[in-house]
Structure 1
Amino acid sequence: MDALLRCMIFLVLFHALLVNPCYCFKRNSFNVSHLENKEEDNKWRTGKATHYGPPKGAGSTGGACGYGDTVEKHPFNKMISAGGGSIYRNGKGCGSCYKVKCTENKECSGKSVRVVISDECGGCGEGHFDLSCTSFESLAKKGQDHGKNLIDAGMIKIEYKRIACNFWRTIAFETDKGANPFHFIVQIQYQNGYGDIEKVELKEQGSKKWHPMQHSWGARWFLSIGKELNPPYSIRLTQTGNGKSKTIKARKVIPKSWKPGKVYWSQSNL
């Protein structure tokens, strides 16, 4: 009888795990934001796209968001774009994700691709994406000739919509090379979700006060309060989009022994 009972309990637990693999685990042990970021703008908008930078490249090295050569690596993989004013948003649009597709040119595949905003398209109007050659060519039908022909077109009509980013990694904080204990500057990278970072706050070790940081340029924020800051630092981010706000805290993400020009990873994402 005991053996039969144990067998029945095993079958119930096995079925629970099969249907819901998270059944026996704490929800907090998973970064579930990757699964929940399904928001997107349901309306496709019309715009136009050009391209810049070298063939098969990632646009320009650096760019107005300050990401540097990370745009060539995973998860950006050169699939980036410079955006016009309403997309770049004076840098607050840095790291935002869009679906882009072209349908009117005969070389277009009609399939959408995801691009990340990493640069500013100076002087560009509403709905203008200045794509890296890699992302521009990815809009074409398969085959080298189609990609080359689309590149040769120069400017094409597109459709686009905002989507939630899903980088499958935690948020990174890169300290600026000019940062110091009196004037702290940090760049934010790989934030998930639908919306832009509208507020960044910093808390020193041993303090309960959150200091509001100021937006500097691109994806960089700074704090200077007239005294030396006491590390480690916790950073709180507020993301706003689609009428909703989300807040996340990266506790002691900048260690006591922090150095300028280094990347520090949080334990979570939006």
Structure 2
Amino acid sequence: MFTFHMAQSLTFSTVVTILLVLTDYGFCMNFKSINASLAGGFASAVATWYGDPNGSGSGGACGFENDVANPTYNSLISAGNQNLFKYGKGCGACYEVKCTQNAQCSGSPIKVTITDECPGACNNDAVHFDLSGKAFGYLAKPGQADALRKLGRITIEYQRVQCSYNARLTFKIDKGSNPYYLAFAIEYLSGDGEIGSVEISSSNSNGWKAAQQSFGATWKVDLPSGIRVLILSGLQLSNPKQLLLHKM
């Protein structure tokens, strides 16, 4: 996980559908290693599926909404029990999963992203992936997707892997934001995928102000009275000078 400091001047009214190019503005980031090992070998888990057989699943509990159906998720997503969802801190984490124990299984791994929570009975299992219908079908041999889905619940193997999003790091500004309150979801974080903490600053404030996790990958911060110019800066790991902001 890493600490992400945002720093680039813009008025609040412009924080909608804009591409920000950073030039001489400063920004600060501190990376921290994640707790889970990456690509450390496959372990056993339970998998189920939800929604339509070829559906995209959902991103509700992480704040990703309908983005899960689009590139770069491409519907290859999963809800997770608390050992995966981690009260929202697991949002955006990537895993390889494969199915080997059923005749319908291909044995080939696919990469999925945690975008939602699987509550309740999912926590009766140590690790439980509740995959989109599309992702579950991708575990099958050609022509066997429906037969595999009919099983409903299967044993799979999984391992944590690096995320490699073919997209800019994205801040989705929540529609409830105003000049004195800011909330935003953070998506497409390549690397370990998890966000440890977020701080913001402004051109007329002293130091950094810590944001609080609202839910999932959505963070919020109350802005001091009178601050109408936000400092927002971002990171795209392949090009640290671009940030895409758009309104939910």
| TM-score (structure 2 length as normaliser) | 0.77
* Distance in 1 separating the partners of 2:243 and 2:116: 29
Aligned residues: 207
* Distance in 2 separating the partners of 1:59 and 1:53: 6
User: Does the 8 A contact of 1:233 with 1:253 survive in 2?
Assistant: no
Deviations 1:229-270 (Å, cap 9, x if unpaired)? 332422578xxxxxxxx9x9879977xxxxxx627xxxxxxx
Question: Is 1:57 equivalent to 2:42 in the alignment?
Answer: no
User: Does the 8 A contact of 2:213 with 2:220 survive in 1?
Assistant: yes
Question: Is 1:111 equivalent to 2:108 in the alignment?
Answer: yes
Task: Quote the residue 2:69 is aligned against.
Answer: 72
Task: Quote the residue 1:10 is aligned against.
Answer: none
Deviations 1:151-208 (Å, cap 9, x if unpaired)? 0000000000111100022200010010111111111010000252011011112445
Specify the SS of the correspondent of 1:199.
strand
Residues 139-218 of structure 1: matches in 2 within 5 Å? 139-143=139-143, 146-207=144-205, 209-218=207-216
Q: Which runs of 5+ in 2 are unaligned?
A: 1-36
Specify the SS of the correspondent of 1:223.
strand
Moved over 3 A (4+): 248-254
* Distance in 2 separating the partners of 1:226 and 1:198: 23
User: Does the 8 A contact of 1:97 with 1:162 survive in 2?
Assistant: yes
Cα 1:70–1:236 change in 2 (3 A) is closer
**How far is 1:77 from its partner?**
0.5
Cα 1:179–1:63 change in 2 (3 A) is same
Cα 1:262–1:195 change in 2 (3 A) is closer
Question: Is 1:92 equivalent to 2:89 in the alignment?
Answer: yes
Aligned equivalent of 1:48, options 46, 49, 55: 46
Deviations 1:131-160 (Å, cap 9, x if unpaired)? 0000000000012xx111100000000000
State the structure with bigger RCO (CA 8 A, min sep 6), 1 or 2.
Answer: 2
Instruction: Write 1 or 2 for the structure with the bigger share of helix.
Output: 1
Q: Which runs of 5+ in 1 are unaligned?
A: 1-38, 238-245, 255-260, 264-270
* Distance in 2 separating the partners of 1:85 and 1:121: 8
Percent sequence identity over matched residues? 39
Cα 1:99–1:224 change in 2 (3 A) is same
* Distance in 2 separating the partners of 1:155 and 1:251: 42
